[in-house]
Structure 1
C-alpha cells in the first residue's frame, strides 16, 4: 500500500505544478496535451480517432477536449479530405501561440526542475519504466533516461 500511496501522491504533486504552470494560458493538462500533439503533427491536423489513440484516452474525452478548445478558437474541426466519416482536428494559429507559450512555461517551471538531482531522476525513470513494462504499458524503450 505504501508504494501505491506514494505514487499517487507524487502524481498529485507533479500535476499541481503542471496546473500552476498552465494556469496563465487557460489550459488544463488534457487540453495542453492535445494542442501539443497537433503542433507536433506534420500538418497540424489529425483525425479524432488518431488523437485518441496517441493520447491513450477514450474518444469521448477527446471530443470533450476538442469542444472546449474549439470554443476558445484554439482548434477547429474540418472534414477529412478522403474519409467522409472522419473529422480532423486542426490547430489554429492562436492554438500554436498558446501551446508554445505553455510549453515554455512548463519547460521553465516544471520540466527543468523535477525536484530530484539528475542521478536520482535517472534511477526513478528506470524504476518507473520497469513498473510500466511489467504492467504491459506501451513500449518505452530500454533506456528511458534520455527523458531527463
Structure 2
C-alpha cells in the first residue's frame, strides 16, 4: 500500500488554529485529534509488520493473551474482558484464528456452558515469530526516547483512569509519587 503523500504542514496544528478562530481554545481538540492520528499510524505500521503472518494486530493481541495464560487457554468472555473489546469482536477474531489453525475452541471442562480458546502449537510458533517482528520495529514507536515513552504512557494512563478504564485507586495520581510499576497480570 503506497504511503499517503505528506502535507507541507501539520494538519492537526492547522485545524487547531482554525478551531481557535471559530470556537476558542483548541488545546483539548489538538490532543484528542493527535491521539487518534497516532493510533491510526501505529495500527497501520503494526498491521504491516504482521501481514507476513496473515494476522492483524487485534488477532495478535488474542494470541499473546492466550500465551500469557497459565494453561494456554481462556474463556472467550475473559478474552473480551482483558482486551476490552465487545464479545462479537472476540468471536470474529477466534473464528479467523481457528480457521488458520492457530487456536481451537473447546468446552470448558469446569463449566460446559463456557467456551475456551486455546493455542495450538502453530499458534505458539506464530506468536513467537510475530513478536520478534514487532519488537524489531519497537512496536512502531519512533521519535521518542525510552524515558519519553514512559512519560507518555503515564500521561495516557491518567487519561484512561479518569475515563474509568480501570479502578481509580490504581491510577498513578492515587499512588502518590512515581513508584516502580509492578508487572501487570492481564490474565490473573
Residue aligning to 2:153: 125
- 1:82 pairs with 2:113: no
- 1:9 pairs with 2:37: yes
Residue aligning to 1:105: 133
Scaled by the length of structure 2, the TM-score of the pair is 0.71
Do the aligned partners of residues 113 and 131 (structure 1) sit closer, same or farther apart at CA in structure 2, a change above 3 Å counting? closer
Q: How far apart, CA to CA, are the structure 1 residues paired with 2:52 and 2:131?
A: 12
SS in structure 1 of the partner of residue 63 of structure 2? helix
Gaps of 5+ in 2: 1-28, 173-177, 184-188
SS in structure 2 of the partner of residue 136 of structure 1? coil
Residue 68 of structure 1, CA deviation? 0.5
Q: How far apart, CA to CA, are the structure 2 residues paired with 1:68 and 1:124?
A: 33
Residue aligning to 1:23: 51
Contact kept? 1:18, 1:106, Cα under 8 Å: yes
Q: How far apart, CA to CA, are the structure 1 residues paired with 2:109 and 2:140?
A: 40
SS in structure 1 of the partner of residue 155 of structure 2? helix
Gaps of 5+ in 1: none
RMSD across aligned positions (CA): 2.1
Give the structure, 1 or 2, with the largest relative contact order (CA under 8 Å, sep 6 or more): 1
Scaled by the length of structure 1, the TM-score of the pair is 0.89
Residue 48 of structure 1, CA deviation? 1.0
Residue 81 of structure 1, CA deviation? 0.4
Instruction: Work out which of the two has the higher radius of gyration on C-alpha atoms and give 1 or 2.
Output: 2
Q: How far apart, CA to CA, are the structure 2 residues paired with 1:93 and 1:144?
A: 38
Count of aligned pairs between the two proteins: 147
Do the aligned partners of residues 80 and 22 (structure 1) sit closer, same or farther apart at CA in structure 2, a change above 3 Å counting? same
